[in-house]
């Protein structure tokens, strides 16, 4: 589909900074995507005065009042019990299921968002658990990295599922015919790594999955852009992401200190101001904000909870791109070859999803 007629559901109460950031980000995104409309879920008494300050997005938005806001520190099980059907997060995702919106965006609690999305939208056939995928800047351009925190401790088959979904995502987003896929490990030798990682690599090498498997990659290969897709577990992926963001901030602070250290340094900055601005833009973590839950029967984009309006606008950009690309149907088609693979718990993906959803709500 195109952006014409596209509606995005926003969790207006999610994130560290609340409606000011969410609605301010939608205002910035509206400049780039004037045809997009927004359904904004949350406390109307809080959001209405904020929306009135942003006339552009107000003209293309509808506020839907909800009574509950999920806090950033709630356990997923608590969030499901307290916020089921009545929270801004639940209602935003449910709008996608009902067809009122094509994609939902939230800066809220990642665990709660994943749990609610999984209960409401369910996982695709041949997918045991969703993966959080994002675009990562590299020396070659960008790569897809997943999982970034949705699934802790996945089994070998789940890692294979992530590889297939990440490959499809990269092919659609980057326009590549055969993206290369690497499995993150502590070394490139076949004897290294956990049993799950080694087993996943063996499956990717031998199974007929139409995936161009490069092999093992190490942490520095992400920045090098060695492969178009990097697959890892959510624990490792989230640590890698936060480490990269912290390193960028460290570099920026070192650079700022060096440029202000002397008169000659400040003069040098003035002479190369354009280059430094371009570098600053490349190093800005906000420009990579917005991760997509892959493997769901619907589109949900997770924004960093601590971002500002500019960062949230980038997450909306991602939402527009994946909705326009018809991502769900294309990934579902790529998952068909997984029919013959057993899941790590010996159940079908559909049964595993049902069991976990019922457990979360009990």
Question: Based on the number of CB atoms within 10 Å of its own CB, is 207 exposed (0-12), middle (13-18) or buried (19 or more)?
Answer: middle
Supply the pLDDT for residue 165.
92
pLDDT band at 227 (very low <50, low <70, confident <90, very high): very high
Burial 11-31 (b: 16+ CB within 10 A, else e): bbbbbebbbbbbbbbbbbbbe
Which residue matches tokens 């030798």?
Answer: 189
* CATH T-level fold of 134-287: Isopropylmalate Dehydrogenase (3.40.718)
For 83-127, what is each residue's pLDDT tens digit?
788 999 999 999 999 999 999 999 999 889 999 999 999 999 888
Residue pair 198/190 in contact (Cβ under 8 Å)? The answer is yes
User: Are both 1-130+295-362 and 134-287 of the same fold?
Assistant: no
Name the 3-class secondary structure at 6.
coil
Please give the Cα distance from 14 to 12 (Å, whole number).
Answer: 6
Please give the Cα distance from 56 to 219 (Å, whole number).
Answer: 42
For 300-354, what is each residue's pLDDT tens digit?
999 988 889 999 999 999 999 999 888 888 888 888 777 766 544 444 444 444 4
| Global pTM value | 0.84
Planar angle of CA 111, 172, 7, nearest 5 degrees: 60
Name the 3-class secondary structure at 28.
helix
Supply the pLDDT for residue 362.
36
Distances (CA, A) of 89 to 54, 213, 227: 22, 36, 34
**Weakest-pLDDT range from 64-73, 134-143, 215-224, 280-289:** 280-289
Domain range summary for the chain, segments of one domain joined by +: 1-130+295-362, 134-287
Assign domain 1-130+295-362 one CATH number from 2.30.110.10, 3.10.20.30, 3.40.50.10950, 3.40.50.300: 3.40.50.10950
DSSP assignment of 53-91 equals T-HHHHTTEEEEE-SB---TT--HHHHHHHHTTTBHHHH
Residue pair 96/300 in contact (Cβ under 8 Å)? The answer is yes
Name the average pLDDT for the chain.
85
């Amino acid at each position: 589909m195109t952006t014409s007629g596209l509606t995005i559901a926003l969790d207006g109460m999610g994130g560290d900074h609340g409606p000011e950031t969410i609605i301010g980000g939608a205002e910035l995104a509206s400049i780039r995507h004037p045809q997009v409309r927004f359904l904004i879920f949350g406390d109307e008494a809080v959001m209405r005065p904020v929306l009135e300050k942003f006339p552009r997005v107000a003209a293309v938005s509808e506020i839907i009042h909800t009574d509950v806001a999920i806090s950033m520190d709630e356990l997923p099980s608590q969030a499901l019990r307290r916020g089921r059907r009545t929270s801004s997060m639940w209602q935003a995702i449910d709008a996608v299921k009902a067809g009122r919106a094509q994609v939902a965006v939230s800066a809220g609690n990642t665990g709660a968002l994943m749990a609610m999305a999984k209960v409401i939208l369910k996982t695709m056939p041949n997918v045991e658990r969703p993966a959080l995928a994002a675009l990562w800047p590299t020396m070659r351009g960008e790569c897809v990295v997943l999982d970034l925190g949705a699934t802790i401790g996945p089994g070998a088959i789940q890692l294979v599922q992530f590889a297939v979904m990440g490959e499809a995502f990269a092919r659609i987003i980057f326009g590549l015919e055969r993206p290369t896929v690497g499995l993150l490990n502590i070394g490139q030798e076949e004897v290294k790594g956990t049993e799950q990682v080694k087993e996943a690599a063996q499956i990717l090498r031998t199974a007929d999955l139409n995936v161009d498997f490069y092999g093992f990659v190490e942490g520095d290969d992400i920045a090098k852009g060695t492969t178009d897709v990097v697959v890892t577990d959510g624990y490792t992926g989230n640590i890698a992401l936060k480490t990269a963001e912290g390193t960028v901030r460290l570099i920026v602070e070192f650079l700022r200190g060096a440029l202000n250290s002397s008169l000659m340094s400040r003069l040098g900055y003035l002479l190369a101001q354009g280059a430094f601005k371009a570098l600053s833009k490349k190093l800005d973590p906000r420009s990579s904000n917005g991760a997509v839950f892959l493997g769901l029967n619907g589109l949900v984009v997770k924004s960093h909870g601590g971002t500002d309006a500019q960062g949230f606008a980038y997450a909306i950009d991602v939402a527009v791109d994946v909705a326009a690309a018809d991502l769900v149907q294309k990934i579902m088609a790529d998952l068909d070859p997984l029919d013959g693979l057993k899941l790590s718990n010996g159940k079908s993906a559909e049964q595993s999803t049902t069991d976990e959803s019922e457990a979360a709500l009990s």
